[in-house]
């Protein structure tokens, strides 16, 4: 039976050597790779069935999405010391199939790689706990949203997070600017805040709006607010 190909991207030499030693009898392993190389560019050169990476940067995240879209039989696993909820969300949405902790036992490691190579998901008890907690928070946040905001208020809050001003929201929703301003004031009162920036920060913290939707605009608003104070 042909061995499957694995790319291991790990900057800890001893850890990498250990992984190679454990897996080399069952897989063709490529580990002597420049870690700065574009993840997607490795596909044509090595044709991997599995990619194991030690961290998921923004660039890697986009590469994983592209790889999973164009090479659906190539699977990606994250090798990490700790699993954060936010990172897990982004990784799973990008197409990552498993999370492997550094302190994993030998038998469990081979099991994890075997499952991932077959297109299945791998979660150890720690990552499963993180996933379940994250899911429950998301479920609770949806109930809170429905209780706290009217549908119109929530749509306006999302549009504020996107960086739209009153004029743009008014045009998009076909509602008068006066009505938009009234709804924004209601949102502020419900959140006990005084500014758009504070409203969005609180909504992100409580998971009432998608993190990726608002974070870039939050930086812009924060910067603009500081510039206004300075001038």
Q: What is the pLDDT of residues 89-141, one digit of tens each?
A: 778 878 899 999 888 888 899 999 999 999 998 888 778 777 767 666 655 66
Residue 69 CB neighbours (<10 A): 9
Query: pLDDT tens across 54-96, in order?
Result: 877 777 788 888 889 899 999 999 988 887 777 787 788 788 9
Please answer whether residues 131 and 104 qualify as being in contact, where contact means their C-beta atoms are separated by less than 8 angstroms.
no
d(CA 155, CA 142): 14
Give the per-residue pLDDT at 112: 92
How confident is residue 220, by pLDDT bands cut at 50, 70 and 90? very low
As a whole number, the mean pLDDT across the chain is 81
Give the per-residue pLDDT at 141: 61
d(CA 92, CA 68): 11
Give the per-residue pLDDT at 37: 67
Residue 119 CB neighbours (<10 A): 11
Query: pLDDT tens across 32-53, in order?
Result: 777 666 778 888 888 899 999 9
Q: Are strands 98-101 and 75-80 parallel, antiparallel or unpaired?
A: parallel
Let me know if domain 4-129 sits in CATH 3.10.129.10. Answer: no
* Residue 212: φ, ψ to 5°: -65, -25
How buried is residue 56: exposed, middle or buried, by Cβ count under 10 Å (0-12/13-18/19+)? buried
Going from N- to C-terminal start, the domains of the chain cover 4-129, 143-229
**Identical fold between 4-129 and 143-229:** no
124-159 CB burial, b ≥16 within 10 A, e <16: beebeebbeebeeeeeebeeebeebbeeebbebbbb
Give the per-residue pLDDT at 135: 63
Task: For the domain covering 143-229, report its CATH number.
Answer: 1.10.10.10
Q: In this predicted model, which residue has the larger pLDDT, 205 or 156? A: 156
């Amino acid at each position: 039976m042909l061995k499957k190909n694995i790319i291991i991207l790990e900057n800890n030499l001893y850890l990498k050597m250990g992984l190679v030693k454990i897996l080399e009898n069952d897989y063709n392993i490529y580990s002597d790779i420049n870690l700065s190389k574009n993840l997607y560019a490795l596909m044509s050169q090595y044709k991997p069935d599995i990619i194991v990476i030690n961290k998921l940067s923004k660039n890697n995240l986009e590469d994983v999405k592209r790889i999973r879209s164009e090479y659906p039989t190539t699977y990606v696993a994250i090798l990490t010391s700790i699993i954060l909820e936010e990172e897990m969300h982004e990784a799973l949405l990008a197409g990552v199939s498993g999370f492997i902790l550094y302190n994993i036992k030998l038998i469990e490691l081979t099991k994890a790689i075997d499952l991932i190579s077959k297109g299945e998901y791998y979660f150890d008890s720690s990552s499963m706990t993180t996933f379940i907690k994250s899911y429950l928070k998301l479920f609770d946040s949806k109930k809170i949203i429905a209780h706290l905001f009217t549908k119109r208020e929530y749509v306006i809050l999302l549009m504020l997070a996107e960086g739209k001003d009153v004029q743009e929201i008014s045009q998009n929703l076909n509602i008068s600017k006066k009505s938009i301003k009234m709804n924004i004031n209601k949102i502020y009162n419900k959140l006990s805040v005084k500014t758009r920036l504070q409203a969005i920060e609180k909504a992100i913290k409580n998971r009432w709006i998608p993190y990726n939707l608002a974070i870039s605009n939050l930086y812009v608003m924060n910067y603009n607010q500081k510039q206004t104070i300075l001038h």
